Amino acid sequence: MFYFDEFINRIGLVPAEVRLLRHDNRAQAAWRRDGRNAFGCFASFQQRNPSPYAGVRCACHFLSGPTLADGDASALFIGATSILDQWIWDGNRLPLIQDEMVLADERGREGVDAFDLEWIEPGSEFTERILLRWGPPAAARAWSQWGNRGRKEIVELKIDPHEPAFPGFAAFAIRISELAAAPLAWRTTLSSVRGVYLLVTDEGGQYVGSATGQDGFMGRWRGYAANGHGGNVVLRQLGHRDYAVSILEVASPDMAQGDILTREAFWKDKLGVRAHGLNAN
């Protein structure tokens, strides 16, 4: 068993002087849009009193990963940064790492400190390759923690960093049986977003559903992988099928569950799956 504090030591940092930050879906969006640049700018703005950086000079950054088999939350390592400077954000002095979209969101925001961050190169070869156990679901709320407390087990270490890039939500298509073996970064991305999806049988039967709960699309599709029907009455009658699954629409992070269900109804009408497909309502 290998723990993340051991990895911190191996890249020349001191766990007691490092903060671990498991960022939210906004960070996920920034990382997927422009990697280190957009995410680095996003991470350069943090709430004040208390600051998640807690006065340290180094931080390891993570995206939220898929829920583990035992229900624990996971975190995907994307890199470490030095924290070079800190000041009260007033919209004038800009951080070292800049991204126009992030800066536009931050302008006018109050109660925020800005930071000069610099990516640390030792350990960068493990970007998106280390998945660690963050802790029980309640622990996910503690998104900033010390590197030497509550030792975090590394549950997956991807050997090959050169996995295929996520194709984008519009082009994404996969078999339910293939989800467990999909690249870790793909599973992490699909766990971070909600929306409306389409299942298709080998005979062409179509079913429109929505993912509104924890772990987004991945959380919903795990039910189909487990029993073939995900609790749906009509699909249960078909027996266990290896559906082809694709995404019809991705919900914005602040979209309410009711609004997602409204969009699901829109797609049911558009595709005619109530009359000619597998949806009963």
Q: Is the dihedral of CA 194, 197, 201, 206 positive or negative?
A: positive
H-type alpha helices, the chain? 4-10, 25-43, 100-106, 184-191, 216-227, 233-238, 257-271, 273-276
pLDDT reported for residue 161: 61
pLDDT reported for residue 275: 86
Strand 18-23 and strand 58-64: the pairing is parallel
173-276 maps to which CATH number?
3.40.1440
pLDDT reported for residue 179: 86
For the question of whether the overall pTM of this predicted structure is more than 0.85, the answer is no
Q: Which H helix or E strand runs over 133?
A: strand 130-135
Which position has the token pair 């993570």? 62
Residue ranges of the chain whose pLDDT lies below 50: none
Ordered by start, the domain boundaries in the chain are 4-157, 173-276
Asked if 51 and 83 touch (Cβ cutoff 8 Å), the reply is: no
pLDDT reported for residue 276: 87
pLDDT reported for residue 154: 96
pLDDT reported for residue 262: 96
Tell me how far apart the alpha carbons of residues 159 and 69 are, in angstroms, rounded to a whole number: 21
HSE-CB of 105 using CA atoms within 13 angstroms: 14
Tell me how far apart the alpha carbons of residues 111 and 236 are, in angstroms, rounded to a whole number: 51
pLDDT in tens, 107-129: 888 899 999 999 999 999 999 89
pLDDT in tens, 150-182: 899 999 988 666 667 788 899 999 999 888 878
pLDDT reported for residue 226: 80
